[in-house]
Amino acid sequence: MSRINVTNFRHPDGTDDNIALDSSGRVGIGTTSPGEKLDINVSSTLGFSIGDDPADSTKLALRSYQGSTNNNVRTISYIGADHRFQVGDVTGTTASEAARIDSSGRLLVGTSTARSTSALGGGQSQIESASFAALQLFGNASNSTGSYIGLWKSRSGSVGGTTIVGADDTLGEITFGGYDGTNAVIGGFVRCEVDGTPGANDMPGRLVFSVTAAGAASPTERMRIKSNGNVLVTQSSASVDGFKSDCTDGSFTGSAISASTTRAAGTSCFLFYGTANAAQSILIYNNGNVQNTNNSYGAISDIKLKENIVDANSQWDDLKALQVRNYNFKEGQTHTQIGLVAQEVELVSPGLVSESPDRDEEGNDLGTVTKSVNYSVLYMKAVKALQEAMERIETLEARLTAAGIE
């Protein structure tokens, strides 16, 4: 075997190295016994080589290894139709494959074959495991920012484009699915869609939650969070526990939302089913009425949760000062009602009145408030005043009896 040895090759640090070219055309740097077309021995324990794929001589393999030769392989990269990355601590030139970039540009981890079905929808990466697959992101910045996964979209049609998206476009989706023994079937997904017309620095979004019902082959929308904060929930059958929305701007069956649907006064708006196959247990109507099956409304009142318990002060004067009115609302309801006016109650008993800011459809504060009266507390004030009235009546009855007046 003929070989050209170059000795006394001086590095800038003053050390010597060897360069070898053998009769097979193999070049060794740092070694006089190259095992591949190019064999670079970095040190006595580290090396790098370029040579043929031991499984396919038409492909080129790039290897890093430990040892004076490439026997203890750490990494093998194959260049060919598929770009594979293999790792292992084995003797010889073969190690277990850890990742692959295939000819379609897909990154495959834990598998050498990409799954491709209409249900899975393709993708540029795939992680597979014989037990369970997991993707973990760890952020270690010394600030409040956490790790995140970003799903973005433009309508440019090319990489790097910034063309504006349109109303109802899907911005991103997380899909959940399983195999039925043969086919991949979607069990549900969470999707973000454009909820309106986007503009400069304006991207209204909604979240859509869809699940596949028992016996069905595809998901059906069950909940939606709109850009204005409204939460729309529905169910398709009364035999399933849950909460159903069925009113203006909240009526939908399946995946179809009808924001323009107007329910007649007195029709049910929300329904709740307490147990499976049971009748409706509570209904909230679009006119504000609330009905339930047992006419029971309660509050948690256990003594173990309370402290500073003392007798309430007299409520006599407060109730006498309240002005009970008849009225009707300006919009939505025309029938006459009986009740209190918040601003008048506020003059007598401010604690009975609360207020909430008025907001537009986008959730912006309009700078005004709407006042409400806490009738549940008013009822307790009335009970206290009734007790006082009963005491006065009983005292008066006793005096009349003592005077011989029946």
> Are 154 and 288 members of one domain?
yes
Give the pLDDT of residue 263: 42
> Are 313 and 282 members of one domain?
no
Min mean pLDDT across 8-12, 65-69, 375-379 is at 8-12
Q: What is the 3-state secondary structure (H, E, C) of the chain?
A: CCEEEEEEEECCCCCEEEEEEECCCCEEECCCCCCCCEEEECCCCEEEEEEEECCEEEEEEEEEEECCCCCEEEEEEEECCCEEEEEEEEECCCCEEEEEECCCCCEEECCCCCCCCCCCCCCCEEECCCCCCCCCCCCCCCCCCCCCCCCCCCCCCCCCCCCCCCCCCEEEEEEEEEECCCCEEEEEEEEEEECCCCECCECCEEEEEEECCCCCCCCEEEEEECCCCCEEECCCCCCCCEEEECCCCCEEECCEEECCCCCCCCCEEEEEECCCCCCEEEEEECCCCEEECCCCCCCCCCHHHCCCCCCCCCCHHHHHHCCCEEECCCCCCCCCEEECCHHHHHHHCHHHEEEEEEECCCCCEEEEEEEEECHHHHHHHHHHHHHHHHHHHHHHHHHHHHCCCC
In the structure encoding, which two tokens stand for residue 378, read together?
Answer: 């008013």
On whether residue 241 sits in a domain, the answer given is yes
Question: 101 to each of 58, 60, 88, 108, how far by Cα in Å?
Answer: 18, 15, 18, 6
> Are 162 and 84 members of one domain?
no
Q: Which residue has the higher pLDDT, 25 or 325?
A: 325
Give the pLDDT of residue 385: 95
> Are 242 and 351 members of one domain?
no
- Determine the Cα–Cα distance for residues 35 and 71; give it in Å rounded to an integer: 10
Q: Give the chain's domain count.
A: 3
> Are 160 and 288 members of one domain?
yes
> Are 177 and 270 members of one domain?
yes
> Are 199 and 244 members of one domain?
yes
On whether residue 279 sits in a domain, the answer given is yes
C-beta contacts of 337-343 below 8 A and 24+ residues apart: 339/373, 339/375, 340/373, 340/378, 342/371, 342/372, 342/373, 343/371
> Are 276 and 327 members of one domain?
no
Give the pLDDT of residue 51: 80
| 56-111 per-position pLDDT tens digit | 667 777 777 665 444 555 566 666 666 666 665 544 555 567 787 877 778 888 88
> Are 216 and 153 members of one domain?
yes
Min mean pLDDT across 40-44, 124-128, 244-248, 379-383 is at 244-248
Give the pLDDT of residue 234: 62
Do the strands 231-233 and 220-225 form a parallel or antiparallel pair, or are they unpaired?
antiparallel
> Are 236 and 268 members of one domain?
yes
Give the pLDDT of residue 386: 96
On whether residue 200 sits in a domain, the answer given is yes
Domain extent, residue 9, equals 3-101
On whether residue 118 sits in a domain, the answer given is no
The domain boundary residue, chosen from 67, 101, 135 = 101
On whether residue 135 sits in a domain, the answer given is no
Q: Is 197 helix (H, G, I), strand (E, B) or coil?
A: coil
In the structure encoding, which two tokens stand for residue 266, read together?
Answer: 């007195």
Give the pLDDT of residue 19: 79
Query: Can you tell me the mean pLDDT for 170-191?
Result: 90
On whether residue 266 sits in a domain, the answer given is yes
The DSSP 8-state label assigned to residue 202 in this structure reads B
State the pLDDT confidence band at 204, using cuts at 50, 70 and 90: very high
Min mean pLDDT across 114-118, 152-156, 347-351 is at 114-118
> Are 275 and 365 members of one domain?
no
On whether residue 247 sits in a domain, the answer given is yes
Residue 156 pLDDT > 90: yes
Residue 113 pLDDT > 60: yes
Min mean pLDDT across 61-65, 220-224, 370-374, 402-406 is at 61-65
Min mean pLDDT across 51-55, 269-273, 339-343, 378-382 is at 269-273
> Are 245 and 370 members of one domain?
no
On whether residue 362 sits in a domain, the answer given is yes
The CATH number of the domain where 336 resides is what?
A: 1.10.10.10
The domain boundary residue, chosen from 244, 261, 292 = 292
| 305-357 per-position pLDDT tens digit | 999 999 999 999 999 999 999 999 887 667 888 999 999 999 999 999 999 88
| 263-313 per-position pLDDT tens digit | 444 455 555 555 544 556 676 666 677 777 778 888 889 999 999 999 999
Give the pLDDT of residue 274: 54
Q: Is 210 helix (H, G, I), strand (E, B) or coil?
A: strand
